[in-house]
Amino acid sequence: MVIAGLKLIGRSPDGSTVPTLERTSTAVLACVAVSVERRHVRRECFNPSIVLPYELRSLDFESAMQDVYDFFYDVNQHLAGKGLGRLEDTVRGAILSGVVSDMLTAYLASHSRTLVTNGYHNGHPDLVVTGTYPEDAVKAGEAGVEVKATTKRGGAVDTHGARDQWFCVFVYGVDRETQPAADRRPLRFAEVYLAHVNTADFRRNERGELGTRTATLHRDGIAKLRKSWVYLDAEPELDSGPETGGP
């Protein structure tokens, strides 16, 4: 019997096995050092002419994105040290988009001068103007920014409904193709958009009986969003795999 490179070989006088341990070369676990890359936000990719609402600054976006990069670096370095796969390769795409969206919301709130996380569970928008609503919590408000993350290039992401709102979309890429997997590049933000849209900019997506009705910016709405770009990293680097992102 082999246990983590050790085998039980001892026997008592009556012939039964006793836990005497001897190292065995055939079952020694080999640890291979895996280099984990730390991604950095490219400052030259920010739009110097963008006018942002609610006293937001490009620095707030840079800091929030770098916080996400640092989180994935720390987690993946720990996982690699144990011989485990990256977080990006472990969770499903839709779940990863939700995690990234929640992280960006929290990090933007921590760096923003006037915005905080909406304290209402599943409330809208994700970020609200501090002091505007009781205890900074509202089920459906207008003062603030809705935040989404997606792998869909151009920022076309489903929402739970069409609204008049400040709408922020982070587009990121995940390397799921490079082999061996240890050589894959880390998650990368390629596009960030922030624009004020209204209900007329959306199309409704009809779903089946078991589906959830959603709304997505139509062609003109997407054009409006893309005109108000905050960050564009056009460097071709990786294939994001299946498109993910949702409400």
| Beta strands in 69-155, from DSSP E residues, in sequence order | 115-117, 127-129, 144-150
Contact in structure between 109 and 126 (CB atoms under 8 Å): no
- Banded model confidence at residue 238, pLDDT cuts 50, 70, 90: very low
Do 127 and 117 touch, CB atoms closer than 8 A? yes
User: Within a 10 A sphere around the Cβ of 176, how many other Cβ atoms?
Assistant: 17
**What percentage of the chain exceeds 90 in pLDDT?**
60
**Mean pLDDT value across residues 39-64:** 97
Return d(Cα 5, Cα 31) in angstroms, integer. 13
Q: Report the C-alpha gap between 58 and 139 in whole angstroms.
A: 28
For the cut 90, the answer to whether the pLDDT of residue 60 exceeds it is yes
Indicate the pLDDT class of residue 219, thresholds 50, 70 and 90. Answer: confident
pLDDT band at 198 (very low <50, low <70, confident <90, very high): confident
Whether the Cβ atoms of residue 116 and residue 169 lie closer than 8 Å to each other:
no
Give the tens place of pLDDT for each residue, 79-128: 999 999 999 999 999 999 999 999 999 999 999 999 999 999 999 999 99
Name all domains of the chain by residue range, CATH numbers in brackets: 1-30 (no CATH), 40-232 (3.40.600)
Q: Per-residue pLDDT for 35 more than 80? A: no
- pLDDT tens for 133-181 read 999 999 999 999 999 999 999 888 877 777 888 999 999 999 999 999 8
> What does the pLDDT read at residue 188?
97
Separation CA 82–CA 32 (nearest Å): 9
pLDDT value at position 239?
47
Contact 5, 28 (CB under 8 A): yes
- Residue 208 has what pLDDT? 56
Q: Check residue 204 and give its pLDDT.
A: 81
What pLDDT does 158 receive? Answer: 77
Can you give the pLDDT at residue 209? 60
**Maximal C-alpha separation, the chain:** 86
Does residue 242 have a cis peptide bond before it, meaning omega lies within 30 degrees of 0?
no
